[in-house]
Amino acid sequence: MSVPLAPAFTYRTVDAGGVAINTATAGDGPPVLLLHGYPQTHLIWHLVAPAIAEEHTVVLADLRGYGDSGKPAPTSDAEYAKRAMAHDQLLVMRGLGFDRFAVVGHDRGARVGHRLALDEPASVTGLAVLDIVPTRHTFRHADAAFALGYYHWFFLAAGNGIPERLIGGDPEFWIRARMGARHSGGAAFDEDAVREYVRCFSDPAAISASCADYRAAASIDLTHDDEDFDAGRRVDCPLLALWGESSFVGRSYDVLSVWRDYAKDVRGAALPSDHYLPEEAPGAVIAALRPFLADLTW
């Protein structure tokens, strides 16, 4: 199978405290960690990463439970808390020799990046979040439109093995249906990338892990987020928010206003896309990331 990632990227598996994290690295310069969302892998960045690697050392990583990374069996909400997933990525970057780095995350990866910036402010020089507002805000302001637009949050968090059994019956249908429903007029998905998403997600352990990810978001992650918010902790580093002008996020929230309740230095813009900005509008993502990353203090 042809994987659409530039040949300059070198793959290696990094041991993150007992969890094997699949990574691909290229470039030279200040380090940038790129994190994917659901239901994808590091390949969501295949059109963006080579351009960023022209000025930076780029590290692509599969989150715990996704892609070709390790998938610990979820025995509690803690295994897939964003705190645990963020700590994986901190250990990855340290294992690769980087104590300070920027983080760019889409979807679930942006939530992991948000937690990483809160838990390890000395390590994160800048944070870019693509097509999200904070998990705490979404749940605290949930309404009928959110429940319908983000129904998968509630479906995936259901217990008793329900989503695992239903998705496991036809994982390819689930992935293509989810992605197709959140794409609007931008570049088409690369079929080789989609096949890789299907390959990785067809592993029952990946389905189980991803459901655990969403269960953690509705439980332990909210506890951590409330604790930080109530204590006055906010993201210290510069934060760039990018969102799709056609996405649910773009239609439903004043994105910059929301993030200014959670971070001290916020800027950003809507891009001509729906949810999957790195694949639908890669040129616009690159154009927004380059000056943001160039202005960071490393």
**DSSP helix/strand/coil, 276:** coil
What span, in angstroms and rounded, lies between the C-alpha atoms of 65 and 70?
A: 6
At residue 129, the 3 state secondary structure works out as: strand
Q: Are 247 and 131 in contact (CB under 8 A)?
A: yes
What's the pLDDT score for residue 12? 97
Please check whether residue 85 is in contact with residue 64, taking contact to mean a CB–CB distance below 8 angstroms. Answer: yes
- Which pLDDT tens digit goes with each residue over 252-295? 999 999 999 999 999 999 999 999 999 999 999 999 999 999 99
pLDDT tops 80 at residue 3: no
Proportion of the chain above pLDDT 70, given as a percent:
99
**pLDDT for res 2:** 64
Query: What confidence tens digit (pLDDT) does each residue in 174-219 have?
Result: 999 999 998 887 899 999 999 999 999 999 999 999 999 999 999 9
Q: Would residue 194 count as lying in a domain? A: yes
Mean pLDDT of 119-147: 97
SS3 173: helix
What's the pLDDT tens digit per position in 105-116?
999 999 999 999
Residue 3 is assigned to a structural domain of this protein: no
Q: Look at the block and give the residue holding tokens 């990046």.
A: 113
Q: DSSP of 110-123, one letter per residue?
A: HHHHHHHHHH-TTT
Q: Position 148: which residue type? A: L
CB atoms within 10 A of CB 296: 18
Q: Is residue 1 part of a domain?
A: no
Residue 66: inside a domain: yes
Domain of residue 25: give its range: 10-294
Q: Which residues contact 121 (CB under 8 A, 6 or more apart)?
A: 235, 236, 237
Would you say residue 4 lies in a domain?
A: no
Domain for residue 2, yes or no?
A: no
Asked if pLDDT for residue 1 goes beyond 60, the answer is: no
136 assigned to some structural domain? yes
Residues classed as catalytic: 107, 275
User: Residue 211, exposed/middle/buried by CB under 10 A (0-12, 13-18, 19+)?
Assistant: buried
Helix, coil or strand: residue 73:
coil
Q: What is the pLDDT of residues 231-247, one digit of tens each?
A: 999 999 999 999 999 99
Pairs from 282-291 (Cβ < 8 Å, separation ≥ 24): 282/47, 282/48, 282/187, 285/48, 285/130, 285/242, 286/48, 286/51, 286/52, 288/240, 288/242, 289/48, 289/52, 289/104, 289/128, 289/240, 290/51, 290/52, 290/55
pLDDT tier at 10, thresholds 50, 70, 90: very high
In a domain, 122, yes or no: yes
Domain count of the fold of the chain:
1
- CATH number at 150 reads 3.40.50.1820
